[in-house]
Structure 1
Amino acid sequence: MPGSSRPLYQMKAEFFKTLGHPVRIRVLELLSQREHAVSEMLADIDVEAANLSQQLAVLRRAGLITSRREGLSVTYELTSPQVAQLLTAARAILTGVVAGQAEVLEQPA
């Protein structure tokens, strides 16, 4: 099976690289709420259609989202609710980090 010879930590690093783009994160956040048509995502994310299409392709190749055509529009959804859980965990971690930084800044010099 391809990929099975690579160490898990290397596969995880590649997975996080896939997530390492603001547009991709925003797409996943939107799809965590519900499925979206491309036109809906374009209205919410301030990027050119070609850029959004490119980022959607990256996420699709990584197996994080799926698409289906409905007439002239294409609708996307997450392949797993665990993607939404990962984004929620990241938010919790960042909230803690930011709170910790605020505490440091509030201490007298």
Structure 2
Amino acid sequence: MSTPLYQLKAEFFKTLGHPARIRVLELLSDREHAVGEMLPEVGIEPAHLSQQLAVLRRANLVRTRKEGSTVYYSLTSPQVAELLRVARTILSGVLAGQAELLADLKAAQGVRKPRS
């Protein structure tokens, strides 16, 4: 029996569920990067970055290209970058809604008279 699509999607989103992996994918959305270029941008130890890149490679979200002793990473599909853009749009809407709710709550508190 094959794995249900919803379960495969859940596994896919688990793969994306680490801030360092998201940051790597964001960087690679612009262009390919060498590991050394990503280190200061991602802000984790080299060994940890290597682990996160391995997870992304196993999930077929990134590919490697070696030039001399330098390993370059790139996205396997431009749709990964599109997914990150869609996520940003969704989060912007959610945060805007939360800001509006907070403003409404603050306004409602200002209307009430303080208890003595």
Shorter-normalised TM range = over 0.9
2:27 is the counterpart of 1:17: no
Q: Percent identity?
A: 70
Structure 1 residue 101, shift from structure 2 partner: 0.1
TM-score, normalised via structure 1 length: 0.95
2:62 is matched with 65
Q: Find 2:53's aligned residue among 32, 45, 56.
A: 56
Distance 2:91 2:42 in 1: 22
Q: Which of the residues 23, 28, 36 maps onto 1:26?
A: 23
Unaligned runs of 5+ in 1: none
Report the CA distance between 1:55 and its aligned residue.
0.1
> Secondary structure of 2:74's match?
strand
Q: Which of the two has higher C-alpha Rg?
A: 2
One-letter amino acid of the structure 2 residue matched with residue 84 of structure 1: A
Q: How far does the alpha carbon of each residue in 1:17-68 deviate from its partner, in whole angstroms, 9 at most, with x for none?
A: 0000000000000000000000000121110000000000000000000001
After the TM superposition, which segments of 4 or more aligned residues of structure 1 sit over 3 Å from their partners?
none
- Residue 43 of structure 2 aligns to a residue in which SS? coil
> What residue number does 1:42 align with?
39
CA distance in 2, matches of 1:45, 1:59: 14
The separation in 1 between residues aligned to 2:41 and 2:12, in whole angstroms, is 25
Q: 1:101 aligns with which of 90, 98, 102?
A: 98
In structure 2, stretches of 5+ residues that fail to align are 109-116
Secondary structure in structure 2 of the residue aligned to 1:68: strand
TM-score (normalised: structure 2): 0.89
RMSD (CA atoms): 0.9
Distance 1:45 1:86 in 2: 19
